[in-house]
């Protein structure tokens, strides 16, 4: 397709890219300088020489009130939350979407609405009672408590429902003639067919789980369950009152917290966008 190239278009794109990326670059660059340098010179655009020291300290030094939690522990916990949430979401929502799309099912419409309603109200508006429910179920300070309540929303179900609807009807028909029952069709045909979708949803949900802030903050008082996001909160609590805050360590923690999802998005960029595009039908 022919279109004239305008330098103006590039200018806008470059400005946009700078606006979006500079803070990230500067956060990383600054994390490799000392706190004193940052305090006197401001933020850096180029890397310094203090990186190894800062990152070793952030990753391995025990901090917090009990002296139990290290950056590494928090990294682990964030990983568990991200992966656990993504896997749980995919399993639950694929199954539910399958029931809604592929079955002649008297309660399909009411169930659809029961699940759909969860889209209207995010966790944040019912955070207090959710906390109370969790404490009644004795799930505070557990991985289940961290992960399972986040699964109570329909986003994944809708992605898969849309995707399943776009799968040609004839595939089910051919499979039925080939003697596949509901479970066989699901496992033999639909799941392998959804691999790209699953990967895309995994990426999105992993990031969503990894990035959770409010829920882990409430659910975990035991520091051995702290995630990186919870760690950021801890840093802030000691921030006020110190002479020269540990800018470098704060930046290092920010970098640790953003690198895994960033890598996932950049490495799987194509699949990630493809998945979103296909689910948007």
Residues 239-268 that bind another protein (CB under 8 A): 239-240, 247, 250-251, 253-254, 257-258, 261-262, 264-266
Site for another protein in 159-188 (CB under 8 A): 161, 164-165, 168-184, 186, 188
Q: Is 138 in the site for another protein (CB under 8 A)?
A: no
Q: Is 36 in the site for another protein (CB under 8 A)?
A: no
Site for another protein in 191-250 (CB under 8 A): 192-193, 195, 207, 210-211, 213-214, 218, 229, 232-233, 235-237, 239-240, 247, 250
Q: Output the smallest distance, CB 191 to another protein, in A.
A: 9
What letters, b where the CB count within 10 A reaches 16 and e where it falls short, cover 35-66? beebeeeeebeeebebbeebbebbbeeebbee
Q: Output the smallest distance, CB 205 to another protein, in A.
A: 13
For residue 69, the 8-state DSSP code is B
Count of residues engaged in binding another protein, rule: CB under 8 A: 128
C-alpha–C-alpha distance, residues 76 and 82, integer Å: 10
Q: Output the smallest distance, CB 47 to another protein, in A.
A: 17
Q: Are 59 and 72 in contact (CB under 8 A)?
A: yes
C-alpha–C-alpha distance, residues 101 and 235, integer Å: 47
C-alpha–C-alpha distance, residues 61 and 53, integer Å: 11
Token pair 């194509």 in the structure block, residue: 270
CA-closest candidate to residue 249, choices 41, 23, 63, 35: 35
Residue placing its CB nearer to another protein in the complex, 72 or 127: 127
Q: Is 82 in the site for another protein (CB under 8 A)?
A: no
Token pair 């691999």 in the structure block, residue: 195
Mention every residue, 6+ apart, whose C-beta is less than 8 A from residue 213: 229, 230, 233
Q: Is 280 in the site for another protein (CB under 8 A)?
A: yes
> Considering only residues 17, 56, 66, 68, which one is a binding residue for another protein as defined by CB under 8 A?
17
Instruction: Point out which span in 12-20, 54-62, 64-72 binds another protein (CB under 8 A).
Output: 12-20
> Considering only residues 32, 77, 157, 220, which one is a binding residue for another protein as defined by CB under 8 A?
157
C-alpha–C-alpha distance, residues 122 and 208, integer Å: 13
Q: Is 3 in the site for another protein (CB under 8 A)?
A: yes
> Considering only residues 80, 99, 199, 271, which one is a binding residue for another protein as defined by CB under 8 A?
99
């Amino acid at each position: 397709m022919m279109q004239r190239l305008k330098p103006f278009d590039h200018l806008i794109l470059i400005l946009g890219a700078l606006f979006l990326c500079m803070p990230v670059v500067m956060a990383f660059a600054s994390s490799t300088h000392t706190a004193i340098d940052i305090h006197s010179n401001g933020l850096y655009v180029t890397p310094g020489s203090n990186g190894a020291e800062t990152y070793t300290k952030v990753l391995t030094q025990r901090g917090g009130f009990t002296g139990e939690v290290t950056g590494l522990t928090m990294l682990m916990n964030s990983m568990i939350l991200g992966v656990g949430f993504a896997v749980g979401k995919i399993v639950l929502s694929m199954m539910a979407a399958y029931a809604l799309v592929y079955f002649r099912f008297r309660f399909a419409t009411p169930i659809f609405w029961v699940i759909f309603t969860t889209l209207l109200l995010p966790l944040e508006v019912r955070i207090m009672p959710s906390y109370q429910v969790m404490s009644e179920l004795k799930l505070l300070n557990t991985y289940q408590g961290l992960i399972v309540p986040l699964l109570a929303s329909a986003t994944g179900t809708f992605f898969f429902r849309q995707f399943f609807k776009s799968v040609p009807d004839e595939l089910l028909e051919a499979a039925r003639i080939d003697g596949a029952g509901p479970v066989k069709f699901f496992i033999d045909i639909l799941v392998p067919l959804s691999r790209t979708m699953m990967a895309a949803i995994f990426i999105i949900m992993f990031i969503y789980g990894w990035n959770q802030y409010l829920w882990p903050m409430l659910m975990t008082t035991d520091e051995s369950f702290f995630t990186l996001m919870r760690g950021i909160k801890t840093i802030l609590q000691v921030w006020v009152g110190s002479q020269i805050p540990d800018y470098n360590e704060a930046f290092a923690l920010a970098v640790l917290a953003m690198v895994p999802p960033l890598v996932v998005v950049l490495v799987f960029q194509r699949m990630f966008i493809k998945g979103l595009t296909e689910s948007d039908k």
